Amino acid sequence: MTKLCVLGLGYIGLPTALLFANNGIDVVGVDINERVVNTLKECRMPFEEKGFQELLDGAYEKKSFKASTKIEDADIFLVAVPTPFDAELRMADLKYVVSACEMIAPHLKKDNLVIVESTIPPKTCEKRVKRILEKSKLKASQDFYISHCPERAIPGNTLHEMVNNDRVIGGLDETATELTRDLYSSFVKGNLYLTTSTSAEMIKLMENTYRDVNIALANELSMLAEEYSINIWEAIDIANKHPRVDIHRPGPGVGGHCIAIDPWFLTENVNDSSLITLARNINDSMPIHVLKKVKELVNGIENPVITVFGVAYKGDIADTRATPALKFIKLAEKEGYTVKIYDPFVKDFDYPILSLEEAVDGSDCIVVLTDHSEFREMEPDILYHTMKNPNVVDSKNILSVQERSNSKLI
């Protein structure tokens, strides 16, 4: 049986490892976090999402998966570690990818395949990964093979998307590409598109950059719509009836580990990327714009108390990575506002998460920053009877209780 060693057991690496383990591959999952490894050894998932625990149970039943803090010899190595963003330099920080490759090099043997799933800037496989792995004294594309197969999955629907979405596979050479295709075809039902490693690296970044630029356009249109007293949500809905128009939804900014970060990976080594940079700056500025709407509503109120609805970066998940809510909260505190937070999904955050009753009691303004479906179903009396002033800034156009409040959409 083919043996696969997966380095990085996070939101992408672990489900990927378990999918392979449930489809005929012998998998050892490696992570430096002992808590994660020990939790998995107890046959418990270190984080929750639909279908994950069942996948882990199936892998243990097949005896095809084990978790460890130490790398082992294998036929295939898969790197699925995080790629942090260096905000000061606006560059990808490749320290974890580099560390993973350095761990693999002493275990590399002839005919091994090394796959990088981590999101990386173009040319990383060709220039950085190859050089590190060749410290093994083996030659890439001659003695062993390197490819890039970026993930295409969204939190909250990870397993479905991992299995059913199309994937792009790019190797340093044709053999690497074909070997990787053969591996992923064990569980991927979507199409597998074959290209070069550099193209695959760029395609992943292009996909998220497209979304970031489109959201920036929607955000700029929303600010223009305010000047003309136009309902931007209705305007976008009607504009999108055009067969060649697909404007995204405006909001308080973008978050997560992809859309808010990947555009910088694409532009870090080029001189002219003014459109992408402008889009990033627009989206990063949206918490300031939301706060402006709050200021208009609480003007004249002494010591305003505001309630943030949702700190997850998207609806119906608990993920707060790069959430624009954090910037908004810090800006609001600088204004001297007392900030209370309610989020039905998030348990751990930089600020306390209160119950709905505690968060709304005595509030002068509710600020919706996340489109959790629970907010859509709320009854007016749940909110307004304990508020001091019934003001609402709904940056996601999701509350159905605005008719009894002073409300603003971004």
pLDDT of residue 403: 54
pLDDT of residue 408: 64
d(CA 28, CA 59) in angstroms, rounded, equals: 11
User: How much of the chain exceeds pLDDT 70, in percent?
Assistant: 98
What residues contact 249, with CB distance under 8 A and at least 6 apart?
215, 218, 233, 236, 396, 397
pLDDT (average), residues 295-304: 96
Give the three-state DSSP class for 4: strand
pLDDT of residue 257: 83
The two structure tokens encoding residue 17 = 């490892």
The residues annotated as belonging to the active site are 204, 258
User: How much of the chain exceeds pLDDT 90, in percent?
Assistant: 88
pLDDT digits (tens, 9 = 90+) for 113-154: 999 999 999 999 999 999 999 999 999 999 999 999 999 888
pLDDT digits (tens, 9 = 90+) for 190-205: 999 999 999 999 999 9
Q: Which residue spans within 63-144 are E strands per DSSP?
A: 65-68, 76-79, 85-86, 91-92, 113-116
pLDDT of residue 409: 62
pLDDT of residue 407: 63
pLDDT of residue 293: 96
d(CA 335, CA 338) in angstroms, rounded, equals: 9
d(CA 315, CA 371) in angstroms, rounded, equals: 5
Handedness of CA 369, 371, 372, 375 (dihedral sign): positive
Q: Are 249 and 218 in contact (CB under 8 A)?
A: yes
pLDDT (average), residues 55-82: 97
pLDDT digits (tens, 9 = 90+) for 219-274: 999 999 999 999 999 999 999 999 999 999 999 999 988 899 999 999 887 777 89
pLDDT of residue 156: 83
Query: What is the band of 98 on the pLDDT scale with cuts at 50, 70, 90?
Result: very high
pLDDT of residue 401: 61
Structural domains of the chain ordered from first start:
3-190 (3.40.50.720), 280-409 (3.40.50.720)
Instruction: Examine the pLDDT at 40 and tell me if it is beyond 70.
Output: yes
Buried-state track 294-308, b at ≥16 Cβ within 10 A, e below 16? beebbeeeeebbbbb
State which H helix or E strand residue 148 sits in. Answer: strand 145-148
Give which of 342, 349, 344, 347 is closest to 366, Cα–Cα: 342
Instruction: Examine the pLDDT at 402 and tell me if it is beyond 60.
Output: no
